[in-house]
Structure 1
Amino acid sequence: MANNSIKPVTHVLFDMDGLLLNTEVVYEKVFQDVTSKYGKMVTPEVRTKLVGTSEHAACEICVKELNLNVSLEVFVKDFHALSQERLPSADFLPGAEGLVRHLHSNNIPICVASGSCKESVEVKVLRHQEVFKLFNHIVNGSEVKHGKPEPDVFFLAASRFDPKPEPSNCLVFEDSFPGVQAALSAGMQVVMVPGPHIPEEKRAKATLALNSLEDFKPELFGLPPFTS
């Protein structure tokens, strides 16, 4: 599914969780294990609300929506300890590493614009230093006042390119609807690679929606095509 207003771009910004790295399965298990400690399970409705939010916001949603008998402070502490232990196991999603290497080898400026906190991002990239060193820079959620769906993280990430591109020259890759909203609010085009639980009407908001990064054709956005 594609929006008819696709235009050439010069710079590319990547979300991290659920787009580059398969962290969503890790987070889902962490939330289930922490909430079960307090006698509840994450419902499908709550799970949908967690996608694309910051860790702290997701913890707030769990405590409030599930009416957990625990303070937000204690829940965040439990969640942080368990997630920091498990997140280093996250691998690249299909097509992610290949696309990053392709853009880098063709001298396309690329960066990561993650809503996750600094400590979380550092843990996730531990096993993948070689690939993440290919990015011009990495911006994390601790560096901005407002998380997605506000555009702050994308504005900051774009501003760190030298020279700074116009938003209309930037392409964002996202998996969540809040991320898509943030990219569009920033005046950028956005390719969405959503999970199966994202409804069709939310996918339609993106410039282009794909089932996998393996399906992405760079030439659609004026970027160098894959050669094999």
Structure 2
Amino acid sequence: MDPSLIIFDCDGVLVDTERLTNQTMASLVTDLGFPMTGPECQQRFMGRPLETIQDMIEKLVGKTLPDDWPDQVRKRDLESFKAGVSQIPGVAGVLDYLDTRGTPYCVGSSGKYEKMHATLGSSGLLARLEDKLFSSQDCEKGKPAPDVFLLAARTMGKAPEDCAVVEDSLPGVLAGRAAGMRVFAFVHDPACDRTALRGAGAVLFEHMEDLPGLLFSNP
């Protein structure tokens, strides 16, 4: 059955921010005494809320980070976004296609609204998504818990089983599957763990232009 709502993750699916934010994270973790590259950060932390990442890093480095550490990271990220954030190639065409088809869509992200407004605004996508944003900051648990996707479906008036999720991270795929939704994993980034994403139940695709053909029986 064709989905009646498409829920997009934000970073790495709509906007090309993953490498930039993970380079920042790698620098922070390395400065704490645990050398790490951007791709290594991406594999460890991709798709998780910063509060969860803080707990993970504290275990790695054996130190307690300041309570406001997530806000410090968000501030650094927002500064880096001012240089400009690109759309994922082909994503505007996918949104155009969904508009033409009359299929609603929205965003379900681990990122806070301030970050989504910054990245989507810089990329030129905010105008068409501003009233369709859902964040884990409104949920009890972030990904891999299904909360944000269930919130999006409920608010948009759709049953979970009628929704499709577009993700690029393992926590996001696990969250979508836990919500009872079909999940499609965008694996254009070489850092994506294709084996893990496929094993978690996602349908993998490399080019955004291929998504409509995967979502619908008669694209």
TM-score (norm 1): 0.83
- Deviation of residue 87 (structure 1)? 2.6
Partner residue in 2 for 1:184? 177
Residue 87 to residue 66, structure 1, CA distance change in 2 (3 Å):
farther
Name the one with the larger helix percent.
2
Is 1:144 equivalent to 2:126 in the alignment?
Answer: no
Paired residue for 1:26? 20
Residue equivalent to 1:53: 48
Which residue is equivalent to 2:79? 85
Whole-angstrom distance in 1 between the partners of 2:213 and 2:207: 16
Displacement of 1:177: 0.9
- The 2-side partners of 1:204 and 1:184 are apart by 11
Q: In the alignment, which residue of structure 1 is the partner of 2:151?
A: 156
CA-to-partner distance for each residue in 1:90-138, whole Å, 9 max, x for gaps?
2111221211122123221110011112222222122245x33323511
1:224 and 1:202 map into 2 onto residues whose CA distance is: 26
1:15 & 1:102 partners in 2: Cα distance?
18
**5+ unaligned residues in a row in structure 1: which ranges?**
1-6
What is the CA–CA distance in structure 2 between the aligned matches of 1:193 and 1:101, rounded to whole Å?
Answer: 18
Aligned residues: 214
Distance in 2 (CA, whole Å) between partners of 1:87 and 1:63 is 26
How much has 1:219 moved relative to structure 2? 4.1
Percentage of matched positions with identical amino acids: 25
- From 113, 117, 133, the counterpart of 1:122: 117
TM-score, length basis structure 2: 0.86
Give 1:170's aligned residue. 163
Q: In the TM superposition, what is the alpha-carbon distance from 1:45 to its structure 2 partner? A: 5.1
What is the letter of the counterpart of residue 109 of structure 1?
P
Kept in 1, the 8 Å contact 2:26–2:41? The answer is no
Distance in 2, Cα, partners of 1:11 & 1:224: 16
Q: Please list every run of 5 or more consecutive structure 2 residues that lacks an aligned counterpart in the other structure.
A: none
- Counterpart amino acid of residue 49 in structure 1: R
Q: Give the alignment's Cα RMSD to 1 decimal.
A: 2.3
Deviation for aligned residue 1:47: 3.9
Instruction: Find the partner of 1:113 among 108, 117, 134.
Output: 108
Aligned mates of 1:85, 1:17 — CA distance in 2: 16
Maintained 8 Å contact 1:59/1:72:
no
Q: Is this contact kept in 2: 1:46–1:61, CA < 8 A?
A: no
Residue 209 (1) aligns with residue 183 (2): no
**Inter-partner Cα distance in structure 2 for 1:107 and 1:150:** 29
For 1:34 and 1:201, the matched residues in 2 are separated by: 26
Counterpart of 1:121, as a letter, is M
